[in-house]
Amino acid sequence: MQPLSDHDKSRIDIRVIDEPTHGSAGVNLTAKVAVTNGSAVSLATTAPDPFHLSYFWVSQDGKSIEGVRTALPRTVAPNNTDQIVMSIQSPATPGCYTLRVTAVQEHVCWFFEPPLSAFRDIQISIGERRRESLRVAPAKLFRELIRRKTTERWRRWNRRYKTPSRVHCPICLYSGDVFKVHRAEDAFGGGCLLRFECSECGGIFGTEKMISLSKRQLAREYRELYWTYDEGDTTETELQTFHKLNPTKSGIYLNYGCGKWSKAIQILREKGFNIVGYDPTAGRAKATFVISSETQLRNMKFDGLMSHNLLEHLQDPVTTLQFMKSLLNDGGLMVHATPCYRYEYEYSRFHLFFFTGNSVNVMAYRAGLIVRDTEYPNIKIFTSA
Ligand SMILES: [Zn+2]
């Protein structure tokens, strides 16, 4: 076909009807695309300047990879729409990408280039290429099914997500648009993780989706996580955290968010310390020393309260710290351990807050607390202000 005039170019539209759902590296994907020709001439993949569907992959660091071409299987006459299945080759390297689906008239123009706007951007997280095995043990198969279900759900949610123009910091309540964005790839099937750095308190929070999930939805996320991944043993660092409370055998202590069962609590109780655990997700807890009812907890008071790798998981850390403070006797201490006093372990969507900058002090201040460092970078002491 002959080069399109500027007017005709602006009358071409591209719509994606069916997006790729599988995102492994180095594989062939397809997308179903509707091409609407509102111009006065027919579109065709013919010399001298053929019309093709194509795409770009744009990586997080802004590098773009030009895609392969898909020819029009038939001529698209003026005032007609045709649906075409286009071929897409996924990038060789796993990561978060924007897939820009568009069209090109060779030697003439790309249809995403301004002033044209015939393109569609799709956020896709490209994972490692899966090696398929024919014989998989049932437990492994179950895990695999849950993982796929999780990945699929997040792909759907991420597709719908629009980056907000204003964001609101849950730690210091600053609201504005001057936030630095941090991107990471979820190691647990959640796709691209978009977090914001507060320009006021310096804290990093997000994803917004995880922070705004209902209790029920969040419970499902954790359930599926524990079905598919094994937790590491954190007994040693839990014991270390406990001892920063300067505990005595006559005091009563709480391990907040201890899980359904805790080896650390058992060890400490055997040594004569009066410590119980609280975990609202424990349901019918596996141990008598684990409380799962908030009502029961509200009627108790403690000389010391610890948490281990908990703060970064809370949807509203300030409110939870206020609640924790209400459980303390006069002069009671709190010790909270987390690596997320820094921007670390960012590859988990379950980490909703990183207490960077001044955010740990702001958070404590809002909860009526003062923070003190210890010799361990992951452990901080909180006392009443
Ligand atoms: Zn803030």
**Per residue in 328-382, pLDDT tens?**
999 999 999 999 999 999 999 999 999 999 999 999 999 999 999 999 999 999 9
Question: Per residue in 171-182, pLDDT tens?
Answer: 999 998 767 899
pLDDT tens for each residue of 62-101 = 889 999 899 998 999 999 999 999 989 989 888 888 999 9
> Directed axis angle between helix 138-160 and helix 215-228, to 10°?
140
Which one of 53-57, 84-88, 137-141, 178-182 scores highest in mean pLDDT?
53-57
Distance from the CA of 302 to the center of ligand 1, in angstroms? 30
Taking the centre of ligand 1 as the mean of its atom positions, its distance from the CA of residue 178, in whole angstroms, is: 11
Expressed in angstroms and rounded, the spacing between residue 73 Cα and the centre of ligand 1 is: 54
Centre of ligand 1 from the C-alpha of residue 209, in Å? 18
Write the CATH number of the domain with boundaries 235-384: 3.40.50.150
Query: Which pLDDT belongs to residue 284?
Result: 66
Which amino acid type is present at position 228? Answer: T
On whether the CB atoms of residues 383 and 246 are closer than 8 A, the answer is no
CA of 363 to the centre of ligand 1 (A): 9
The mean pLDDT of the chain is 90
- CA of residue 352 to ligand 1 center, whole Å: 13
- Does residue 134 register a pLDDT over 50? no
Label residue 375 left, alpha or beta by phi (over 0 means left) and psi (-120 to 50 means alpha). alpha
Q: What is the pLDDT of residue 260?
A: 78
Cα of 193 vs centre of ligand 1, distance in Å, is: 19
| CATH entry 2.60.40.10 includes domain 6-126 | yes
From the list 52, 82, 57, the residue with the least C-alpha distance to 67 is 57
Cα(125) to ligand 1 centroid in Å equals: 28
pLDDT score recorded for residue 19: 84
Enter the tokens of residue 84.
């075409």
Calculate the alpha carbon distances from 258 to 94, 307, 308 in Å.
35, 7, 8
Distance from residue 108's CA to the centre of ligand 1 (Å): 48
Distance from Cα 111 to the centre of ligand 1, integer Å: 41
- Kindly give the distance from the C-alpha atom of residue 362 to the centroid of ligand 1, in angstroms, as a whole number: 8
- In degrees and rounded to multiples of 5, residue 211 shows phi and psi of -65, -30
Distance 213 CA to ligand 1 centre (A): 20
C-alpha to C-alpha distances, 153 to 99, 147, 190, 310, nearest whole angstrom = 19, 10, 8, 25
CA of 256 to the centre of ligand 1 (A): 25
CA of 149 to the centre of ligand 1 (A): 34
Gap from CA of 221 to ligand 1 centroid (Å): 26
Q: Helix, strand, coil: what percent of the chain each, to 5? A: 25, 35, 45
Q: Where are the domains of the chain?
A: 6-126, 138-183+193-228, 235-384
| CA 197 – ligand 1 centroid, Å | 8
